[in-house]
Chain A
């Protein structure tokens, strides 16, 4: 059942790639939409049948592959990976929907997106470290091609930077995994086998740092983030939606799946440092966003800041904070995809992303009123305004982390305030004010262009008003994860203060 999520998109990618070149662009796009829609429906089916009371892996699949190397085809799903799988399937469909009708070389474009979807699903499902690494690395070349072929200005250098950084990330993760096998003398890369291994603390530190750096690049965390603004800005709208909405989550997923449970003692000891690192990311991301003049770059930097919340929650590793972190991953995926989609629409219609040029888009007749209204809503969701999904996620993160790291949590709350600052700057300059006569001849936004934004907005609202539908998927798993972590290592004093959540 789980294999379908990996191999059907890959199969679909092959079909799309082999479609006749003479086929109408719309038909190619429609085919890609249908095929990604089937994956989305399959994911929804999986969600419906998912046993909420079971904290362990479900729908496990296991096939021997290269057992001599310790590489077997092992898949499974739990409350940590399920929300991210949904996000992956949904954003893939929306990214294809939001692609331009006149996309050049559409067969290759959609095939690469579908390939990425299958690869990301594989990474979220893999229960073998080497298998995870393979799926993790599969994304690299498709994304490189998507950025370099269909990207905007300076796409060449941005794609190369992305390639170098993420290849380094993969190298560090592989080194960490190999080190784990060597030092634990395990016979396989199987996740459940390695979970029970206990390594000397020094070894744990080294391996943990390797993995943290690897996943920190992908997430990204300051100062490993420098590839992100250029890449996000150079990428086309659908690719930016996938980069921010899905790819970045591979980094945070890796932290929760591997760093935290495989090295529990080292994690507990390093957690104050990690929390501080999170705060640096939050504040740096927010301050850098404030300084931007390009709205896409501003949104990109906002992503850096918001990823910091997830690291803070991981550092605190309380049940509540982890539920908050998973919610934040999901919420951030929705919000960032919405913002990138809207920024892409603005750029397509107005022809610029420059804050000093944009003005008055809220104009009801000649502006982009609905796009502006949704941008306001996206900004509010990102800034954690109550009633929207961003608030729930951030509130859970802060509530769960405060007892463990009060100072870092409060500083992160300041980061939320700064989020409101740069979004007010963005909205004030972009949406409000007087529409400039010389510029105000924008083409109209068609209804089908609004559909992705409306779907994302609806989800942001629904999950913000009824957060149980978001957190209940991950609650049993997080309870189990935290219990396991505390069984395997004595919790630091600061974490014990949060015992009521355990």
Chain B
């Protein structure tokens, strides 16, 4: 994969508040400063994120394809073996495009954790579940709901959910699923919109599952390359992401449901919805930028206009999130941090021991690291968009370079509000 070649800017200095960062982006860098410490943190956390993500994507697809409209989905997080054995399309010998050199089935560390959990004892699965000694799928569902709740973030996938074709496909699946169940069919007759809306949500389950199916091997491979000394700078890590985005941009996004051995194509692959535009970009917009205020972290008074009236202006995503309240029960960042905590590489565990409260506040330290790493991912997305829509960084035409700069400045304008952590991550002391 080709790395973006950093080139010195040929334009006069930017007057933007984040001029230094814009110059860095123009030189092929990331919003995150290029330091060995930052690189170690983001690669380590990508690995720790990828292991639970390997569970997230499998479970999201399981819910979308198999659990479907189960009115009492008490065991939806109990992933059956065939979904753990399911081959990732971007890892293993039979991959469509082999991004990770590892196995296509579930990651060994994930399997080990699922068996013995944090308590390191093999207990009945239900006990691990009730003790919350498991992968927190609630986080994955929170991300899915953020995408589903905001909707209308561009692309063709979301408008398709409101088409008659989609409703007809969903209708067939619903009737097949509840065949022989007069109660549920009666309810469907009474409240059809409610059921269709549930299917739309399940389509977003599928969307996110397919998105993360790609990201997990990308992060695993980055971790392996770092361990082998083949990724040595933050821009190299970002470039790997940019190239990865383009390599799998065309991956189809679909929603299939399996009922009694028969496949119902609610969103067929033939619709041509592409991973980059229908999953990756809406995901970044919904989860990195917008989401919604996390319960339990801060109270907002909507009547006093503390919450934006326009959903486009929401700014509660990971790029803005205050991760310091992490540790409070039930809030999505805490759930994710808890998941990543189980799979930290040893060098990152050792690193966290050296700062703040050592091992006692690893949850928050890794939360801040995760925030740094997501600024790197966002940088990759910005660079990818610039590459797709605008001009090369080494373009000789100053007008083109000016257009690039305007694009970067517009992107960074979203991060000028005080809640954004862009200023914080410029310093290594933000932990």
Contact = CB atoms under 8 A, between A and B. Distances in A.
Interface string A426-452: 000000001101001101100000000
Given A363-B324, A440-B324, A434 B361 contact: no
A435 B325 contact: yes
Given A365-B363, A366-B364, A437-B424, A444 B357 contact: yes
A365 B363 CA distance: 7
A364 B367 CA distance: 14
Given A434-B298, A437-B424, A365 B322 contact: no
Given A434-B297, A434-B298, A366 B361 contact: yes
B360 A363 contact: no
B328 interface: yes
Most buried by B among A365, A437, A440: A365
11 contacts: A363-B325, A365-B326, A365-B327, A365-B360, A366-B327, A366-B356, A434-B297, A434-B298, A434-B324, A437-B322, A441-B356
Contacts of A366: 324, 327, 356-357, 361, 364
A360 B322 CA distance: 13
Task: Return the 7 tightest CB-CB contacts between A and B, nearest first.
Answer: A365-B327, A364-B327, A444-B357, A435-B324, A365-B361, A365-B364, A434-B298
B322 A434 contact: yes
Contacts of A437: 322, 324, 424
Given A364-B328, A365-B326, A443 B357 contact: yes
A365 B368 CA distance: 13
Interface residues of A, number: 12
Interface in B266-303: 297-298
B406 to A, nearest CB: 32
Nearest to A364: B327
Contacts of A441: 356, 431
Interface of A: 360, 363-366, 434-435, 437, 440-441, 443-444
Interface in B317-352: 322, 324-328
Contacts of B356: 366, 441
Nearest to B363: A365
Contacts of A443: 357
A427 B360 CA distance: 24
Task: Say what secondary structure dominates the interface of chain A.
Answer: loop
Nearest to B360: A444
Nearest to B322: A437
A366 B334 CA distance: 13
B354 to A, nearest CB: 14
Contacts of B327: 363-366
Contacts of A440: 324
Nearest to B368: A437
Contacts of B357: 366, 443-444
Tell me which of B297, B298, B325, B363 has the highest count of chain A C-beta atoms within 10 A of its own C-beta. Answer: B325
Nearest to A444: B357
Given A364-B327, A365-B364, A435-B325, 5 more contacts: A363-B324, A366-B356, A434-B297, A434-B322, A437-B322
A366 B431 CA distance: 11
A62 B364 CA distance: 65
B430 to A, nearest CB: 8
Contacts of B328: 363-364
Contacts of A435: 324-325
Interface string B397-431: 00000000000000000000000000010000001
Interface in B358-373: 358, 360-361, 363-364
Contacts of B363: 365
A443 B358 CA distance: 10
A173 to B, nearest CB: 50
A360 B424 CA distance: 20
Nearest to B424: A437
Interface in B175-223: none
A408 B413 CA distance: 64
Contacts of A444: 357-358, 360-361
Contacts of B358: 444
Nearest to A362: B328
A434 B360 contact: no
Nearest to A435: B324
Nearest to B356: A441
B57 to A, nearest CB: 28
Nearest to B359: A444
B357 to A, nearest CB: 4
Interface in B22-48: none
A431 to B, nearest CB: 13
A363 B331 CA distance: 13
Nearest to B329: A364
A434 B297 CA distance: 7
Interface in B67-84: none
A437 B322 CA distance: 8
A21 B401 CA distance: 72
A363 B357 CA distance: 14
B394 to A, nearest CB: 38
A365 B337 CA distance: 12
A438 to B, nearest CB: 9
B368 to A, nearest CB: 10
**Residue picked from B326, B328, B356, most chain A C-beta under 10 Å:** B356
A367 to B, nearest CB: 9
Nearest to B323: A437
Q: Give the residue among B322, B324, B327, B328 with the most A Cβ atoms within 10 A.
A: B324
Name the residue in A366, A437, A440 with the highest tally of chain B Cβ atoms < 10 Å from its Cβ.
Answer: A366
Nearest to A365: B327
Contacts of A364: 327-328
Nearest to A443: B357
A291 to B, nearest CB: 26
A348 to B, nearest CB: 15
A272 B324 CA distance: 55
